[in-house]
Each structure stands twice: as C-alpha cells, then as structure tokens.
Amino acid sequence: MTTRLPAHGIAWEELQRQLKDASSNDVDWRGGRVPMFVHYAGEDVLEVAKQAYLMYFSENGLGPRAFGSLAKFEAEVVAMGLGLLHGGPEACGAMTTGGTESIFLAVKCARDRALARHPGMGKPRIVMPQSAHPAFDKAAYFLGLEPMRTPLGEDFCADVAAMRAALTADTAMLVGSAPAFPHGVVDAIPEIAELAREHDIWMHVDGCVGGYFAPFARELGADIPDFDFAVEGVTSISADLHKYGYTAKGASTLFFADPASFALMGYHFDNWPRGQYFTHTLVGTRAGGAIAAAWAVMNYLGKDGYLRVTERVMATRRAMQQRLDALGLPTLGRPELCIFAFGSPLRDMAAIGKGMTARGWTVGYVNDPPGIHHMLNLTHEPVVGQYLSDMAAVLKEPQTHARAGSGKVDARY
Ligand SMILES: Cc1ncc(COP(=O)(O)O)c(C=O)c1O
C-alpha cells in the first residue's frame, strides 16, 4: 500500500465519484442479496435516520452538559426501550454504540458484582449456551473472565440442565439469548433466570437482535417465552437499535433491572489536571448523530410502524420457510422471529451455497448441523420468489446431493 495523504486537497466532486466507484463491487444490499449486516425498513425510515444523523453530525454524546438535546434524546430512547421490555419503576439503562459494547459492559458489571459479593472467588465465569454471541467471549478475554459454553438442546435452544451442571462457585454470569444469532430461536429465559435466582448470579438476556423486534412479534402472535424484565431474576438486557430499531449504526441500549446494577456500568475518574470525567460507556466520544437518529426513528415509526414492519418481516420468513421446506430444505428448530437457518442431511449445503453464490447471492452459513442462515429485513421481501427459483435451479445440480465426506460449510461472516 503506497497511499499517502495527498499533498494537495482533491475536489469534493472527484472524491464523491471515487466514493461511488469504490462500492461498485460491494454486495447489492438494496437488492436483498445479503443475508445480514443491514436492517432496512423502507426509504422513508432511512431518510429520517439520515436527516436526524446529519442534524447532530458534529455534536458529541460525551458532553451531556453541553448538549442537553442529546441527553434528552438518550433519556427518552432508554425510557421507550424500557417500556417495551417491561422495565419496572426501578429499571434504568443507557445507550451504547452497539451490541458488542452493550455485552462488554454487562459482563463488566456482572464481574464487578460477583467480585464484590465473593471477594475470595476464583476467576469469574460466564456460563452460556453454545449459541451465544462471540461478544461474550471477547468481553471475557478483555475483562479476565472464563467463558464456559454449554451444549444446546435438540431444539437449538439452551439446555438449561447443562447450564446448571456447568455452574461453579465462580460463576458470575448466566446468559440467554432472545433470539440467538445462529438459529434465531429464543432460549428459555424464565428457566435460566430461575437458576440465576437460586444461586444469586447475574442473568443477562442478549436481546441485541430481539429487543426491538420480539415485543412486536409477540403482539402479532409469535409463540416465544417471556424474555424480558417481566421475568424475575433478569438483571440486564442488551437491545440493539441499529438492528431492528432500524436506526443508524452506532446505537444500542443496555438496560438494568435496578439502579444498583446500573451503577456498576459507570466509570468515574478525576486524578488528572482536567478534573472529573464520567461515562456510562466504554467509549468516550459518541456520535451525536447516532443518538439523534435513534430518537427520531423510534418516534417516526411509533408502535404501529414497528408492528407493520415486523409483520412483513415475519411474513417473509414464513414464506421462505414454507417454500424451502417444500424443496426439501427444512428449517432448523422453530424460530419465531426474524432469523432462521435451514439445511438437510440429504444435501451438501456447501455446494448449495456455492450454487447460490454463483447466482449472485451472498450466503451466510451455520455449521452444526450445516445450514444456510438468514437475518431478514424488508430488502428481502421483494426477492423471495427469485431466491426460491434460484434455489430450485441449484437443487437440480448433482453436486448438491450429500455424499460421503461432503457438507462441511465455510461459515465465515
Ligand atoms: C445475538 C447478538 N448479540 C450481539 C451481537 C453483536 O452486535 P454488534 O455487531 O452490534 O456489536 C449480534 C450481532 O449480530 C447478535 O446477533
């Protein structure tokens, strides 16, 4: 790489052209050909997010004293989120920049609570199902905890008996997902929370995907267990606004059942010449745009807007599932929300993935058992027919039939 800062500035028109050209080989997300990474709820919603972001482009969430506007938006976003997740009068929380940061901070709080309550304990442990997001292991790595993953049940949900068996005196945190990313299924949060209560352990619900989807899906009839603060024993919930909140990237929420747990999230410092420093987040500077866009989109969509989009995403999932099933590619487990994966031991899922890739689809995989993965949004709605006719054509290719040694998928992001 020989690129250097140009000696002389380049005209914006030229840079704009280069920016546009640079994306020419990127995936066509607007055409519904990418199975994750983007959460689209329509041009109008995108425009609201963009305009709100631009209005607060330069403002900084680090300075609530200077930017009372952002402090107000954040407080209202948190209150709206808690309202969806049955937060009681004591519940509280803050915005972060994404799911990984929310999870990182929840792990930090759980660790600190355990160390304070049990000063002689060994390395604190996180006990979580095999389907939990890697953000927990990442946080454990950075924060000095021991991650312990337990097997899933046949339904791809957490096997709570296996979690119970993995408990030790050093366990600082239990995790359940609503839903988990690989198969889109919701863990038995009430049972995991009961285990947490019995042993006085911090219980985190990873609602990064479902926090702003599952409440609406349930209202529309999705058959999932209670997963939020309605369940006694849930200590914290992460819920991403930049996924199914449909806001600009750089926005998540981390909620707590009570102020004492929330207090562990904050960081104070004043031993330097510039005086008192305080943040709730790991990061310092936060894009004011991401906070303003979250506030604007939530208010723009409102409950009826989220219900409308949720209904369409769930209808897209059901249509894909039914027609894939008819093609001999059944869904893995019983996902009821916005993610599903499918596969068959009679087929070589890697060969199917290659066939779909050759037809212009970016393919996401799961690896146990081998399958193909979709995290849906409204870009997928108009291309369901095309996806399925391409799939039907791919299934006619002889190499897509399973044979000895075939089927291992390359499940990369
Ligand atoms: C269940 C779950 N938790 C956490 C995350 C991490 O979120 P982020 O990529 O915003 O850090 C994801 C991302 O897909 C997820 O699916």
Tell me the best of 209, 213, 249 to mutate to test the pocket of ligand 1, counting ligand atoms within 8 Å of each CB and taking the most: 209
CA 13 – ligand 1 centroid, Å: 36
33-to-330, 357, 392 alpha-carbon distances in Å: 21, 10, 17
What is the per-residue pLDDT for 413? 75
Return the number of other C-beta atoms located less than 10 Å from residue 241's C-beta: 32
Please state the atom number of ligand 1 nearest to the C-alpha of residue 179: 1
Map out the domains of the chain with their CATH numbers.
49-298 (3.40.640.10), 312-400 (3.90.1150.10)
Give, using CA atoms, the residue closest to atom 7 of ligand 1. 99
Cβ proximity of 343 and 331 under 8 Å:
no
Q: Is 208 touching ligand 1 by the criterion CB < 6 Å?
A: yes
- CA nearest 174: which of 96, 99, 107? 107
- pLDDT given for residue 1 in this prediction: 67
| Residue 257 near residue 85 (C-beta atoms within 8 A) | no
pLDDT of residue 130: 98
Residue 229, pLDDT score: 98
Distance 99 CA to ligand 1 centre (A): 5
Binding site membership of 35 for ligand 1 (Cβ less than 6 Å): no
Pair of tokens at residue 116: 């304070």
Q: Is 360 left (phi over 0), alpha (psi -120 to 50) or beta?
A: left
The whole-number mean pLDDT for each consecutive block of 10 residues of the chain, a chain of 413 residues, reads 91 98 93 96 98 98 96 98 98 98 98 96 97 98 98 98 98 98 98 98 98 98 97 98 98 98 97 96 97 98 98 98 98 98 97 97 95 98 98 97 81 79
| 225 contacts 188 by C-beta, under 8 angstroms | yes
Nearest atom of ligand 1 to the alpha carbon of 240? 10
pLDDT in tens, 333-391: 999 999 999 999 999 999 999 999 999 999 999 999 999 999 999 999 999 999 999 99
Decide whether any atom of ligand 1 lies within 6 Å of the 209 Cβ. yes
The reply to whether ligand 1 has any atom less than 6 angstroms from the CB of 181 is: yes
CA of 223 to the centre of ligand 1 (A): 23
**Nearest ligand 1 atom to alpha carbon 252:** 10
Q: Whose CA is nearest to atom 13 of ligand 1?
A: 99
Q: Indicate whether residue 206 lines ligand 1 (CB < 6 A).
A: yes
Q: Beta-carbon neighbour count of residue 153 at 10 Å?
A: 16
Residues pairing with 331 in the sheet: 342
Residue 387 near residue 320 (C-beta atoms within 8 A) = yes
Query: Rounded to the nearest whole angstrom, what is the distance from the C-alpha of residue 283 to the centroid of ligand 1?
Result: 17
Question: Residue 104 and residue 108: Cα distance in Å, rounded?
Answer: 6
Closest atom of ligand 1 relative to the 132 alpha carbon:
1
Over its C-alpha atoms, the chain yields an Rg (Å, rounded) of: 22
CB-facing half-sphere around the CA of 22: CA atoms within 13 A:
6
Please give the Cα distance from 371 to 143 (Å, whole number): 33
pLDDT at 61: 96
Q: How many CB atoms lie within 10 A of CB 79?
A: 13
**In the Cβ-directed half-sphere of 182, how many Cα atoms lie within 13 Å?**
23
**Do residues 290 and 248 lie in contact, with contact meaning Cβ atoms separated by under 8 Å?**
yes
* Helices and strands per DSSP (H, E), number in the chain: 12, 12
β-pairing, 339-342 with 370-375? Answer: antiparallel
Which residues, listed in sequence order, are joined to residue 176 by a DSSP beta bridge?
205
- Residue where the block lists tokens 């990237």: 249
End-to-end CA distance of the chain: 25
The answer, yes or no, to whether the previous bond of 369 is cis (omega within 30 of 0) is: yes
Q: Is the CB of 99 inside a 6 Å radius of any atom of ligand 1?
A: yes
Interval between CA 209 and ligand 1 midpoint (Å): 7
Q: Is 207:237 a contact under the CB 8 Å cutoff?
A: yes
Whether the CB of 100 sits within 6 Å of ligand 1:
yes
Residue type, 145: L
Amino acid letter for position 405: G
Q: Which pLDDT score, from 0 to 100, does residue 409 have?
A: 87
Q: Is the CB of 240 under 6 A from ligand 1?
A: yes
What pTM was estimated for this model as a whole?
0.97
Ligand 1 centroid to Cα of residue 249, in Å, is 12
- Which token pair is 330? 């059944």
3-state SS assignment for residue 80: helix
Q: What's the pLDDT score for residue 175?
A: 99
Q: What is the pLDDT of residue 156?
A: 98
Q: Is the minimum distance from the CB of 131 to ligand 1 under 6 angstroms?
A: no
**Residue 2, pLDDT score:** 80
Is the minimum distance from the CB of 178 to ligand 1 under 6 angstroms?
no
Ligand 1 centre distance from Cα of residue 323 (Å): 28
Distance CA 311, CA 6 (A): 50
